[in-house]
Structure 1
Amino acid sequence: MKIVLAIDGSDFSKVAIDELAGMPLPSKTEVCIINVFENPMLTAPGALPLGGTLGNYYEEAVSNAKKAAEDTVNDASKSLKDKNEALSITTAVVDGLPKSAILEKAEAFDADLIVVGSQGHGAFSRFLLGSVSQLVATHAHCSVMIVRKRNSKEK
């Protein structure tokens, strides 16, 4: 079985990681953990560092976003591996639009399943582009598992 786990570091992503880690998976399951970081110039207003030229701002903002994305997938990989040593895990960090990048990775990976959190970072992006999980579920060529964060009343 091949699974793409799309995460962004949000609480909803952490729930998706935990849910996947707790699933009884077939032996030789391959998991590709992907984090798509969006152009920092279009997201968080505090993402730009102070000082230097505009080009330096942009390069440093992209570098910071990429580093944060790499840390996120590495932490998720460690968490999954700690809970299920049999998993074969690869990671990918992509600069782009989350919906497109997730679908492209799933197709290239020949995924049987995409796992995403029900919500994530990027309220502004969601306002402009719609829910990533909804768009992935609508356009994916494989099954999609959308993991919801349970509130304390549901436990």
Structure 2
Amino acid sequence: MATNVSEKQVMVVGVDDSEFSLYALHWTLDHLLSPASNSTFKLVLCHAKPTVSASVGFVGPGAAEVLPIVDADLKRTAAKITDNAKEICKNKSVNDVVVDVVEGDPRNVLCEAVEKHHASVLVVGSHGYGALKRAVLGSVSDYCAHHAHCSVMIVKKPKPKH
């Protein structure tokens, strides 16, 4: 929490390549960080880059040649995701942005980013899974809501009306 009126609080926004994450970023920029609102937040965009071992389902002959290629691809993907997120911020005239790319499980990476940056708020998107899918796949937003040491805002993309 900010101790000085002139010191900005930190807001961490989890970003990945999903439409839900991008919606959450757009929503946050439009509602909480617009230049007109004279925001009191410094924005940290946090991306969890998968580990090579989590991305490669085999270990055996030839792995030594494949792992560096997979790692380079994961780094390119992370750069593409964060560059896109920074561009979205720039287009909304939000320039006080820090990018944090950390290797690991998104649940842990986001909660650790809250601690590292002393964040007051964590913003994550929601896929809108039902209870069964959430139980099987795990929910980053649910985990963060229970484990992050700050307020957590879960931004849900509205479902289209039929």
Q: Same fold (TM over 0.5)?
A: yes
Provide the C-alpha distance between the structure 1 equivalents of 2:44 and 2:101, rounded to a whole number of angstroms. Answer: 10
Matches within 5 A, 1:131-146: 131-146=139-154
- CA-CA distance at 1:133 after TM superposition: 0.8
**TM-score (norm: length of structure 1):** 0.81
Q: Which residue of 1 aligns with 2:113?
A: 105
Q: Which residue of 2 aligns with 1:123?
A: none
Provide the C-alpha distance between the structure 1 equivalents of 2:112 and 2:32, rounded to a whole number of angstroms. Answer: 26
**TM-score (norm: length of structure 2):** 0.77
Q: Mark the runs of 5 or more structure 1 residues left unpaired by the alignment.
A: 121-125
Report how many residues are paired. 143
Structure whose CA Rg is larger: 2
Q: Which residue of 1 aligns with 2:87?
A: 78
Establish whether residue 88 from structure 1 lines up as the match of residue 96 from structure 2: yes
Amino acid at match of 1:5: V
Q: Which residue of 1 aligns with 2:64?
A: 55
Q: Which residue of 1 aligns with 2:44?
A: 32
- CA-CA distance at 1:29 after TM superposition: 2.3
Provide the C-alpha distance between the structure 1 equivalents of 2:62 and 2:116, rounded to a whole number of angstroms. Answer: 38
Identical residues among aligned pairs (%): 30
Moved over 4 A (4+): 126-129
Structure 1 stretch displaced more, 5-14 or 28-37: 28-37
